[in-house]
């Protein structure tokens, strides 16, 4: 639902906001260039839309129309059925650490998420976190570093190790306490969203659950920031609709993550999944959401993680989520995704390379984009 309102009509604006809140929605106001501002009603707005005639009659309302079907809550451009369009601001998703610093996805600076595939021992989890912190300090980007680790692991084979559950979450809590860095962890079950979400700073929905609609809605209702991985067999549009399931519950703090597709072309073992980098660019154009890239699950081999990460930087991603290992010796003990974990000194070089890319190459890419009319 989109409403055009004369600027300065505060009481009408308040009234529209109240109606939105009453039906579980909220509003987003964008200042227009002329005398009208545009109000977008966020969330599942069927109840609100039933009041469209009343809204049209309020003082200062120039027009109110229903947006055409689509993923309107996250779309960069929202259109009405008769073709009118509202271009929206990009969303910045903030995750604050105990160190008081906000990691801001989509604010133009690369966010570095790293850590083990999964916490297995306290020592391993703490060692990863401390090394991550040291890298952040070394390059002066502590406010861009975050931890990862899956305590609940989706495994293809039921006999494989499936993570430590809440014991693993406690280890991630300890790592956060120790370093001040916030962490993201996967949730697989809509019944566990609150239990895990009370601990985690950010929730991850994995590729296998990208179309688990109950889970998406539960994460949407819970309201904490979320990373939504693209389903490995999903069209980009399907990925956006999955994000819309979260947004439709009023939670726009969503970060999209491309992590590679299963294709015939990965046979032969040269990579684990096929990275769809153009989908990152597409997501940036089609949605207001920040987009990050997972170079680990596309690779399956730690020796090709860095080139994949840098390739994604060429597609102007807002960050990367990379699996790391605190020491090479631990690889033999790692119970999941051992071969793709980057040793921390190599990861440190990758961070340095990405920062160099950001400083020296990215401005050229942005200039070319502007020449092409892409902003
Ligand atoms: C992970 O992040 O460890 C993971 C399981 O990712 P994905 O859902 O992309 O396979
Ligand atoms: Mn993994």
Closest by CA to 284, choosing from 325, 240, 330, is: 240
Which of 257, 295, 297 best tests ligand 1's pocket when mutated (most atoms within 8 Å of CB)?
A: 297
- Cα(207) to ligand 1 centroid in Å equals 6
pLDDT band at 362 (very low <50, low <70, confident <90, very high): very high
Q: What region does 210 belong to: left with phi over 0, alpha with psi -120 to 50, or beta? A: alpha
- The closest-lying atom of ligand 1 relative to the alpha carbon of residue 260 is 9
Q: What is the pLDDT of residues 207-218, one digit of tens each?
A: 999 999 999 999
pTM, rounded to two decimals: 0.95
Q: Is 229 in the pocket of ligand 1 (CB under 6 A)?
A: yes
- The closest-lying atom of ligand 1 relative to the alpha carbon of residue 208 is 8
Average pLDDT over residues 369-375: 87
Strand partners, 186: 204
Which residues are found with C-beta within 5 Å of the ion, ligand 2? 117, 337
- Cα(4) to ligand 1 centroid in Å equals 42
| Range ranked top by mean pLDDT from 36-45, 86-95, 293-302 | 293-302
- Ligand closest to 151 (CA) is 1
Report the alpha-carbon angle 146-97-144, nearest 5.
Answer: 40
CA pair distance 42, 222, nearest whole angstrom: 16
Q: Could you count the other beta carbons within 10 Å of the beta carbon of residue 269? A: 8
Report the alpha-carbon angle 131-137-139, nearest 5.
Answer: 105
- Ligand closest to 150 (CA) is 1
- Cα(375) to ligand 2 centroid in Å equals 33
CA pair distance 320, 159, nearest whole angstrom: 30
Please name the helix (run of DSSP H) or strand (run of DSSP E) that holds residue 186, with its range, or none: strand 183-186
Closest by CA to 3, choosing from 71, 70, 59, is: 59
124-161 burial, b if ≥16 CB within 10 A, otherwise e? bbbbbbbbbbebbeebebbbbbbbbbbbbbeeeeeeee
How far, in Å, are 109, 118, 186 from residue 152 at the CA level? 30, 8, 6
Lowest model confidence (mean pLDDT) among 17-31, 127-141, 310-324: 17-31
Q: What is the pLDDT of residues 34-83, one digit of tens each?
A: 898 999 999 988 899 999 999 999 999 999 988 877 899 999 998 877 77
CA pair distance 189, 194, nearest whole angstrom: 10
Q: Is 150 in the pocket of ligand 1 (CB under 6 A)?
A: yes
CA pair distance 319, 293, nearest whole angstrom: 6
274 neighbors 245 (Cβ within 8 angstroms): no
Strand partners, 226: 203, 254
């Amino acid at each position: 639902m989109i409403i055009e309102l004369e600027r300065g009509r505060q009481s009408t604006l308040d009234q529209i906001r109240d109606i939105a809140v009453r039906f579980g929605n909220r509003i987003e106001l964008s200042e227009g260039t002329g005398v009208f501002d545009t109000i977008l009603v966020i969330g599942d707005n069927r109840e609100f839309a039933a009041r469209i005639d009343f809204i049209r009659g309020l003082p200062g309302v120039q027009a109110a129309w229903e947006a055409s079907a689509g993923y309107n809550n996250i779309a960069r451009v929202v259109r009405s059925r008769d073709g009118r369009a509202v271009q929206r601001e990009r969303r910045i998703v903030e995750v604050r650490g105990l160190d008081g610093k906000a990691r801001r996805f989509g604010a133009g600076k690369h966010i570095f998420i790293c850590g083990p595939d999964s916490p297995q021992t306290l020592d391993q989890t703490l060692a990863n976190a401390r090394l991550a912190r040291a890298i952040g300090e070394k390059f002066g980007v502590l406010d861009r570093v975050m931890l990862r680790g899956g305590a609940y692991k989706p495994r293809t084979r039921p006999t494989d190790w499936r993570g430590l559950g809440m014991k693993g979450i406690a280890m991630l809590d300890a790592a956060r306490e120790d370093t001040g860095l916030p962490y993201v962890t996967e949730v697989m079950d809509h019944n566990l969203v609150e239990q895990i979400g009370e601990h985690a700073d950010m929730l991850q929905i994995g590729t296998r659950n990208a179309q688990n609609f109950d889970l998406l809605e539960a994460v949407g209702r819970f309201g904490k920031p979320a990373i939504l991985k693209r389903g490995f067999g999903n069209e980009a549009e399907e990925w956006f609709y999955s994000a819309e399931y979260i947004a439709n519950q009023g939670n726009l703090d969503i970060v999209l993550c491309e992590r590679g597709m299963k294709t015939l072309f990965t046979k032969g073992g040269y990579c684990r999944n096929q990275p769809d980098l153009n989908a990152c660019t597409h997501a940036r154009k089609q949605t207001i959401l920040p987009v990050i890239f997972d170079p680990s699950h596309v690779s399956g081999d730690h020796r090709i993680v860095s080139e994949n990460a840098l390739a994604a930087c060429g597609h102007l991603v807002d960050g990367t989520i990379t699996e790391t290992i605190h020491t090479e010796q631990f690889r033999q003990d790692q119970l999941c995704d051992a071969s793709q974990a980057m040793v921390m000194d190599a990861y440190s070089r990758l961070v340095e390379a990405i920062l160099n890319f950001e400083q020296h190459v990215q401005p050229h890419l942005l200039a070319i984009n502007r020449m092409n009319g892409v902003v």
